[in-house]
Amino acid sequence: MRLDAQAAGVFPIAPTPFHPDGRLDEGSIDRLCESYRGAGATGVTVLGIMGEAPKLEPEESLAVAARFIAGIGLPAIVGVSAPGFAAMRSLARAVMERGAAGVMIAPVPSLRTDEQILGYYRGAVEAIGTDIPFVIQDYPLTLSVQMTPKVIRAIVEEHPSCVMLKHEDWPGLEKISALRGFQADGSMRPISILTGNGGLFLDFEMERGADGAMTGYAFPEMLIDVVRLQKAGRRDEAHDVFDAHLPLLRYEQQPGIGLAVRKYVLMRRGLIASDAQRKPGSALSATARAEVDFLLARLARHEGLNLGGFTAR
């Protein structure tokens, strides 16, 4: 279960479930694992930006990762981004020992030039060791680091342990085409590309050459269906499934409050016990919750959809 460049399918980004008082909620981790596995996920990604990772103490990070690794029984990718390489190294080596399939590394927001980005990944790989498969996280909207296809190619070519791109640029369709073009012209070895952004363009990302999705939309079943249908060449069906979820997906994809929406939906679905975030966190107004309820009710009425554990109340 070591991550490699052939990885494909859906790796849901798992939230970190907390009790209302801020303690870790291990039972909800187990429930999430069961639900992801049951829905047909290929793996899981934990301690991402949406996983409130910076709010965890080091030992908590390890505990959360270990619990997901044990519970999922599938490849688990662990976010190890950290301001210091020493902390990145200890977490990376510890989670690999406990059975992680690989780690994900986001650039620090201060990087501006290609040279700085390459230098950063060089330092990170030196720190964690060349034996740990890693994922590049490319998320300019939040991290304010612009990675061109060429700099991604340079990282891939320099580091054999780079096996995957978490693609989260916006707009990002042409970036997938550019990277697949590099593979086609032989200038870059093949890597796995899983897409993020809550899935907002997953329908077309698959057509551009993505291998799947790595994002936290609260209905991973839909992501899994779209990936499966697109791979089977059933384009219109894939879009039908996607379009039915788009109103909710768009609502979840709002900056700042997205995690609050996502945790609320997961709670409504019974997959986590509480939608609490560790402080400081974002919160939904009563009106916003009612809007999500309305979108869930519309989604539930839509026939032929697999809504998992969700029941309209």
CA distance 4 to 125: 16
Q: Does 233 bind a copy of itself (CB under 8 A)?
A: no
Judged by beta carbon, residue 37 or residue 150, the one nearer a copy of itself is: 150
What's the Rg (C-alpha) of the chain? 18
Q: Calculate the CA dihedral of residues 299, 302, 303, 306 and round it to 10 degrees.
A: -20
Residue in 30, 180, 204, 231 binding a copy of itself, rule: CB under 8 A: 204
108 touching a copy of itself, by CB under 8 A: yes
Angle at 269 between CA 268 and CA 271, to 5 degrees: 110
Closest-CA residue to 213 (of 8, 6, 4, 1): 8
Sorted by sequence, the CB contacts under 8 Å of residue 228 that are 6+ apart come out as 40
* Placement of tokens 């509480």 in the chain: 274
The answer to whether 214 is a known ligand-binding residue is: yes
Options 101, 173, 193, 218; binder of a copy of itself; rule CB under 8 A:
173
Give whole-number Cα distances, 288 to 68, 131, 276, 299, in Å.
Answer: 30, 46, 16, 17
Does residue 146 interact with a copy of itself by CB under 8 A? yes
Selected from 99, 148, 270, 293, the binder of a copy of itself by CB under 8 A is 148
Which residue is associated with the tokens 């780079």? Answer: 162
Q: Which helix (H) or strand (E) holds 137?
A: strand 134-138
Among residues 254 and 270, whose Cβ is nearest to a copy of itself? Answer: 254
- Asked if 186 touches a copy of itself (CB under 8 A), the answer is no
Which range touches a copy of itself (CB under 8 A), out of 26-34, 61-69, 157-165, 171-179? 171-179
34, two tokens = 């069961």
Tell which one of 112, 184, 232, 312 touches a copy of itself (CB under 8 A): 112
Distances (CA, A) of 7 to 134, 180, 210, 224, 307: 12, 15, 11, 14, 26
Q: Which is nearer to a copy of itself, 256 or 304 (CB)?
A: 256
Of 76, 90, 48, whose CA–CA distance to 198 is shortest?
48
**For residues 70 and 183, which CB has a smaller minimum distance to a copy of itself in the complex?**
183
Q: Among residues 8, 24, 70, 257, which is the contact residue for a copy of itself, using CB under 8 A?
A: 257
Q: Which residues of 57-76 are buried (b: 16+ CB within 10 A; e: fewer)?
A: eeebbbbbbbbbbebbebbb
Per-residue interface string for the shown chain with a copy of itself, residues 62-101, x marking contact by CB under 8 A: ---------------------xxxxx--------------
Closer by beta carbon to a copy of itself, 17 or else 71:
17
- Residues 284-303, mask of contacts with a copy of itself (x by CB under 8 A): -x-xx--x------x-----
Contact between 129 and a copy of itself per CB under 8 A: no
Give the residues lining the site for a copy of itself (CB under 8 A).
22, 52, 54-58, 83-87, 108-110, 112-115, 119-120, 123-124, 127, 140, 146, 148, 150, 170-171, 173-174, 177, 200-201, 203-204, 207-208, 236, 239, 242-243, 246-247, 250-251, 254-257, 278-280, 285, 287-288, 291, 298
